[in-house]
Structure 1
């Protein structure tokens, strides 16, 4: 049949769009196929160490009397998740001797799961009160393994997606497993800790990882493709010459290396045994002296190099005039790092111009208020407010997750009703206001009590067999989690809107990693401030960071609106 004859006079009816499965229906679908059930296990495997290392472990540290300043420095292990794109080429390309026969992705997942299981067991055998340095070293090793494990799992999901198990379904199943793990690593771990010692809790979690390791060994995997030329665009005429790219990458690499070594050196000095008579290192002084320079080295130096790359690309003597046939492991790694660290920012800078500074400022400050204090939530609830582990487990990890999901849904609804930037602005304003609730909670909750009494929420709590004390915690967590859920939705939508389709995955990974950078660096100083000034004053001070975020949101809103007007005017003239 000819093409002309095959065309019908009437357009075929569009196939009805099937609603995406959720909840238990999603779980039922997940268990029908080997790939989907494996993805569920991998999602759980990804979420459990993050919950145990970045959240729950601080409850253990607070219980044994570790200073909040030290807990703040300890939380820097979370930078492993922010910086994981730096070593993603190794996980993607390097065959593991002895394990490669398991599969391209499985070999790395098995190795990382084994390291995580061993690390959790070693944490159980280490006393943080007497050997905090060794404890942090083991936790950092576990965080590195967990971040590398996430790289391999993300790649496995993309490799294994097909018509029967599309990537959207696998991603949804992954999130289901991840959220389930956050409850196990948070709420269940706290409930267990109320009935057994913390070391025994972490031994149980290590045992769970051994079980996950067995599941991984039975998972399908894709073969490693033949080595071939990667990043072909970098070898085509018009691309920067390899020597120029190497020089630009060297500057960015040196900046990142300096920043990482500076952080590690201070962390070691902070966690080392105190020298008699010597003044202990100050996290606040370090943050004040080096914090801004570290952000400059990891954000603004790469941005400046990206802008320079754009200028050099316009010079004929700096670009290739013919295809570059050279290949090799060194060239592949250099190309990967250049494509991860320089090229995405170069494209963003080329497309947005000076507006990229407003976008970066927005990303760096948007969630700073929440990110700064998140690591101190458990010590605040358990040690300062004296709630039980069972109460915190329910309020923070069960009730709190439900409120976060409600906030995410609210964010999506507001996007449709009032638009993108009004929702983004709400996401900048609302979460910091929650810090005033926590300040009130730290001072006995007079404002929360008055609010609850006016709405008869105290009577409602008693009717459900609770008390005013638990009601206060639930109200504070309810507001904070709904507000941060809304802000998370706004942030994801914003970053998704500014990334280019060509560099979508890399730009999104790089930009989203910046979200926690300032907050993570500031946690040490905030922990020291909690020790010195108390919770309530510091909560109010950190709420003031909303002014910075709101300023950047308004600047970006005005920039995007002006750009839309210029585009509209140009279209009308055309």
Structure 2
């Protein structure tokens, strides 16, 4: 029987019922649960923790310093090669073993953090918060690798949508849910409840399948420095060397970096815009929490359907254009002034289109990963995609002061277009297939990156 390659699968058009039905697949639903576990710890070391410290009289300078505990999220690619190559402590498979190990440690760390007293154990709380962030970032590495390797080609886009949706639901649980629990039952009860909810991801890894990936050939007979050099080359240099074998790989990296740059610039300055127009904090919070949350989840799911229906390349272009149009609603807000209806429309449009583009981008990054280096390559590519938020978006304040709100947000709607043009240019000129990589990935066959013409 002829093997069906990933390329063949992607070249088959998918109708709308097929695209929507992908969300009912068991593994796609498992990704939703893992996304929930991924998003849950974030606010436990960020806004929820800040609220806990503030209510206990901790100085604002100390609270601001606690923001540094999130550094592991930005540098998780540094230890991702270890998760790719080092056998896990629990012999349950490469992904399941590491996933269960890390989540057990994470549950314990969250419980320990929740048992602290900010008035007496502030240094210990800081250390535990860093540990929670480190384990949470490590968990993200495993979850992303499990998702990419476990899902078939048809399920990658719905999986990207589910990971975003689950992540947002997890943030809502640990953010608003954590504050609600703390108000009525105390901070330890809030953190203990969040630790218990993390068991949802633990159950997925325990009962879920171990992804089938090609067995890597290990070299024997080496010892000492020779073995160390080989291990370093395989774990650290290998992912980079593998990626740079692709034609036009620098152009691909530039497109990834710039794809959500405009959204990042607009997002950083959205709240300052609302405040300058006279909106109160409760008005902004209500619009962000209610309209923002539901539009993000809806946009992520729509993005998954669109990407499954039309393929990655066309969806990246379509969703990228819609994302740019979404930023134009900030121009409407800046010109229209203090109008609640405009605020709701602006928040909805920006989050809806941004989430659609996010699903298409995550699917693309997933397809670019080779199975031998899934954890490392996805960590690197996703870090590159989010780098624009830090490097470029920080200039938003200066730009908006110089050119005004309307022109600034008009500029943000144009910033992402060069990345879309690069995707258009790369597509018909590039072929990511490797001669020895015809497999589907989820079926245990060898898999390289997919043809750019199918993106």
Please, which of 220, 241, 258 is the counterpart of residue 343 of structure 1?
241
Taking a change above 3 Å as real, the CA distance of residues 525 and 205 of structure 1, as seen in their structure-2 partners, is farther
Instruction: Give a deviation string over 1:364-400, Cα, whole Å, max 9, x none.
Output: 2221233356578789889973226666432222344
Taking a change above 3 Å as real, the CA distance of residues 374 and 533 of structure 1, as seen in their structure-2 partners, is closer
Taking a change above 3 Å as real, the CA distance of residues 194 and 40 of structure 1, as seen in their structure-2 partners, is closer
For the residues of structure 2 that align with 1:496 and 1:92, how far apart are their CA atoms?
15
For the residues of structure 2 that align with 1:57 and 1:544, how far apart are their CA atoms?
35
CA RMSD of aligned residues (A): 5.7
Rg: which structure is higher?
Answer: 1
Please, which of 414, 429, 432 is the counterpart of residue 324 of structure 2?
429
Note if 1:477 corresponds to 2:347.
Answer: yes
Taking a change above 3 Å as real, the CA distance of residues 83 and 171 of structure 1, as seen in their structure-2 partners, is farther
Aligned partners of 1:421 and 1:557 also within 8 Å:
no
TM-score by length of 1: 0.52
For the residues of structure 2 that align with 1:380 and 1:75, how far apart are their CA atoms?
26
For the residues of structure 2 that align with 1:181 and 1:546, how far apart are their CA atoms?
26
For the residues of structure 2 that align with 1:432 and 1:173, how far apart are their CA atoms?
26
Question: How many angstroms does 1:62 deviate by?
Answer: 10
Aligned partners of 1:55 and 1:375 also within 8 Å:
no
In the alignment, what sits opposite 2:418? 551
Taking a change above 3 Å as real, the CA distance of residues 479 and 332 of structure 1, as seen in their structure-2 partners, is same
In the alignment, what sits opposite 1:182? 168
Q: How many pairs are equivalent?
A: 403
SS at match of 1:100: coil
Please, which of 352, 369, 375 is the counterpart of residue 262 of structure 2?
369
Please, which of 29, 36, 53 is the counterpart of residue 44 of structure 1?
36
SS at match of 1:516: helix
SS at match of 1:347: coil
Aligned partners of 2:178 and 2:191 also within 8 Å:
no
Question: How many angstroms does 1:100 deviate by?
Answer: 3.2
Taking a change above 3 Å as real, the CA distance of residues 489 and 183 of structure 1, as seen in their structure-2 partners, is closer
For the residues of structure 2 that align with 1:384 and 1:75, how far apart are their CA atoms?
30
Question: How many angstroms does 1:480 deviate by?
Answer: 0.1
Note if 1:74 corresponds to 2:67.
Answer: yes
For the residues of structure 1 that align with 2:49 and 2:279, how far apart are their CA atoms?
17
SS at match of 1:90: helix
SS at match of 1:387: helix
Please, which of 317, 332, 336 is the counterpart of residue 231 of structure 2?
332
Taking a change above 3 Å as real, the CA distance of residues 344 and 537 of structure 1, as seen in their structure-2 partners, is farther
For the residues of structure 2 that align with 1:555 and 1:172, how far apart are their CA atoms?
25
Please, which of 276, 286, 298 is the counterpart of residue 402 of structure 1?
298
For the residues of structure 2 that align with 1:524 and 1:134, how far apart are their CA atoms?
32
For the residues of structure 2 that align with 1:543 and 1:94, how far apart are their CA atoms?
48
SS at match of 2:244: helix
Taking a change above 3 Å as real, the CA distance of residues 101 and 126 of structure 1, as seen in their structure-2 partners, is same
For the residues of structure 1 that align with 2:172 and 2:372, how far apart are their CA atoms?
35
Aligned partners of 2:261 and 2:415 also within 8 Å:
no
| Correspondence 1:492-571 to 2 at 5 A | 492=362, 499=368, 505=374, 507=377, 509-521=379-391, 529=397, 541=408, 544-554=411-421, 557-558=424-425
For the residues of structure 2 that align with 1:103 and 1:538, how far apart are their CA atoms?
52
Taking a change above 3 Å as real, the CA distance of residues 362 and 475 of structure 1, as seen in their structure-2 partners, is same
Aligned partners of 2:365 and 2:378 also within 8 Å:
yes
Taking a change above 3 Å as real, the CA distance of residues 325 and 423 of structure 1, as seen in their structure-2 partners, is farther
In the alignment, what sits opposite 2:132? 142
Aligned partners of 2:98 and 2:142 also within 8 Å:
no
Aligned partners of 2:304 and 2:356 also within 8 Å:
yes
In the alignment, what sits opposite 2:100? 109
TM-score by length of 2: 0.63
Question: How many angstroms does 1:475 deviate by?
Answer: 0.7
Q: Which moved more, 1:360-369 or 1:386-395?
A: 386-395
Unaligned runs of 5+ in 2: 2-13, 432-455
